[in-house]
Amino acid sequence: MSDGKKINRFPGADWLGRRLTRKVILVFAAAAVLTLGLMCWSFLSYLDAFAGSTYDAALAESDKTLRQTEAFLLDAGPDWPALRDHLAQRGEGCTIQNEEGETVFEYIPEDWTDARLTVSGVGSAVMADGRTVELRIWARTMGLDELSASLQKNALFALSVLATCVFVVVAAMIYVLVVAPIVQLRGTMKE
């Protein structure tokens, strides 16, 4: 058998070699790049949605607190001790300025020892005596640990779903491109 033909101990191995060429490797590489791009895009989209919903929830809560404080001032008038108790119950701070811009009331809870404060709501209210005052409701910003814990909990679920989808796609590709040809080769070898 020296006629120049290569003798192969496994019949059908040439068929497998023809099926698994450089094209298959390129398909795997392209699929890996596309999957990486899809994973990055979907994770960044998820983070964007999480940050947006967290921000929107904080704004909605601050607007609600501002409206409640305005309503309290309309009912109670300039009863500063009662307003202080009202704000302490809600864990909010407040600064009230008169029409001339002078601060007539300010309350920031004593347990707020850090500098992470933000004006979360600004509005005006007409007092019972007809004066208009400007309210600034202060809220504590979300701390890094609190934000990280919330993000970790939500991201764990999203990443688990994403990893499951990637696993299913890769498993299907491996079956179609590697296992199915080997099964077909074994079938031709038995014949």
pLDDT greater at residue 170 or residue 106: 106
- Confirm whether 8 is domain-assigned: no
- For residue range 146-185, list pLDDT tens digits in order: 767 777 777 777 778 877 887 888 788 778 777 777 777 7
The answer on pLDDT for 16 being more than 60 is no
What average pLDDT does this structure show over 27-44?
Answer: 80
- Confirm whether 65 is domain-assigned: yes
What average pLDDT does this structure show over 78-95?
Answer: 83
- Confirm whether 63 is domain-assigned: yes
- Confirm whether 156 is domain-assigned: yes
What average pLDDT does this structure show over 84-97?
Answer: 84
- Confirm whether 2 is domain-assigned: no
Mean of the per-residue pLDDT values for the chain? 75
Q: What is the number of structural domains in the chain? A: 1
Cα distance between residue 123 and residue 125, in whole Å? 7
Q: What's the predicted TM-score (pTM) here? A: 0.52
- Confirm whether 1 is domain-assigned: no
What average pLDDT does this structure show over 18-39?
Answer: 73
pLDDT greater at residue 81 or residue 148: 81
3-state secondary structure the chain: CCCCCCCCCCCCHHHHHHHCCHHHHHHHHHHHHHHHHHHHHHHHHHHHHHHHHHHHHHHHHHHHHHHHHHHHHHHHCCCHHHHHHHHHHHCCEEEEECCCCCEEEEECCCCCCCCCEEEEEEEEEECCCCCEEEEEEEEECCCHHHHHHHHHHHHHHHHHHHHHHHHHHHHHHHHHHHHHHHHHHHHHHHC
- Confirm whether 5 is domain-assigned: no
The answer on pLDDT for 1 being more than 50 is no
- Confirm whether 175 is domain-assigned: yes
Q: Which domain holds residue 73?
A: 13-190
- For residue range 62-77, list pLDDT tens digits in order: 788 888 888 887 777 7
